């Protein structure tokens, strides 16, 4: 699942926003009009201090995983070249053993790549879920303070038109950055994937 789609889905669950709102105002139960606003969660995640810190941490993890995979790729290439160059000089048993060794290492590298991908997705989900939960509380507070009837997520709610005055995103980012502790977002303990034989 793409990261942007996952954020929208998670925010929809966290906020339990009503989908399909297209008007800028809606009637309140008492007959008066209340305001409706929206936020762009992608912008909050891209610009808030905690969102940026979470993304940077994920990039560092991804770079470490990529370095490991590059090492495996180089090892496989050397083994393949060795088989191609010396294969004709080896006995049938030695050639078969080298080929089996290459296939084992190739399968191990493919499994490791899959493990890394799953691990990265899990860490991304944990880090960004925390950011989204924090943002949800801020949205709730801003909505109550500013007397909004409803606040929707711009992309997930299918907003076709929205006036710039109804955009609370920058206000939510400022409030979130003021509330958030200084430093990187809390992260789960770094653990590598289990090595497979």
Provide the residue ranges of all domains of the chain, joining segments of one domain with +.
Answer: 3-21+37-179
Examine the pLDDT at 95 and tell me if it is beyond 80: yes
Lowest mean pLDDT among 13-27, 77-91, 146-160: 13-27
- At 125 the pLDDT is 83
- pLDDT at 104 > cutoff 60: yes
Instruction: Tokens 């944990």: give the residue.
Output: 126
Average pLDDT over residues 152-168: 76
Query: Are 159 and 38 a contacting pair, CB within 8 Å?
Result: yes
The answer to whether 156 and 7 have CB atoms below 8 angstroms apart is no
Sheet strands (E) in 69-168: 148-153
Under the banding of pLDDT at 50, 70 and 90, the label for residue 22 is very low
Among candidate residues 121, 174, 162, the one with its CA nearest the CA of residue 1: 121
Model pTM? 0.58
Long-range contacts of 103-111 (CB under 8 A, 24+ apart): 105/72, 105/75, 105/76, 105/79, 106/76, 108/72, 108/196, 108/197, 109/69, 109/72, 109/73, 109/76, 111/196
pLDDT, tens digit (0-9, with 9 covering 90-100), for 32-84:
445 888 888 888 888 988 888 888 988 999 999 999 999 999 999 999 998 88
- The confidence band for 103, taking pLDDT boundaries of 50, 70 and 90, is very high
- Amino acid 188: pLDDT: 45
User: What does the alpha-carbon distance between residue 159 and residue 8 come to, in Å, rounded to a whole number?
Assistant: 13
Tokens read off for 155: 């992309």
Q: What is the pLDDT of residues 105-159, one digit of tens each?
A: 999 999 999 999 999 999 888 877 887 788 888 888 888 888 888 888 887 776 6
Whether residue 90 is predicted with pLDDT greater than 90 in this model: the reply is no
Higher pLDDT: 56 or 16? It is 56
């Amino acid at each position: 699942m793409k990261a942007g789609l996952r954020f929208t889905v998670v925010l929809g669950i966290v906020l339990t926003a009503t989908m399909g709102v297209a008007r800028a105002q809606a009637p309140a139960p008492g007959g008066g009009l209340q305001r409706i606003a929206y936020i762009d969660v992608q912008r909050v995640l891209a610009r808030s201090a905690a969102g940026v810190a979470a993304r940077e941490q994920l990039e560092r993890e991804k770079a470490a995983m990529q370095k490991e995979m590059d090492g495996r790729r180089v090892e496989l290439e050397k083994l393949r070249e060795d088989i191609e160059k010396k294969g004709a000089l080896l006995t049938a048993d030695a050639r078969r053993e080298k080929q089996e060794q290459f296939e084992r290492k190739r399968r191990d590298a493919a499994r490791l790549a899959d493990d890394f991908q799953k691990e990265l997705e899990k860490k991304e989900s944990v880090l960004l879920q925390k950011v989204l939960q924090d943002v949800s509380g801020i949205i709730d507070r801003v909505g109550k303070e500013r007397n909004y009837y409803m606040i929707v997520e711009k992309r997930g709610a299918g907003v076709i038109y929205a006036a710039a005055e109804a955009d609370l995103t920058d206000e939510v980012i400022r409030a979130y950055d003021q509330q958030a502790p200084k430093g990187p977002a809390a992260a789960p303990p770094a653990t590598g994937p289990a090595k497979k034989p």
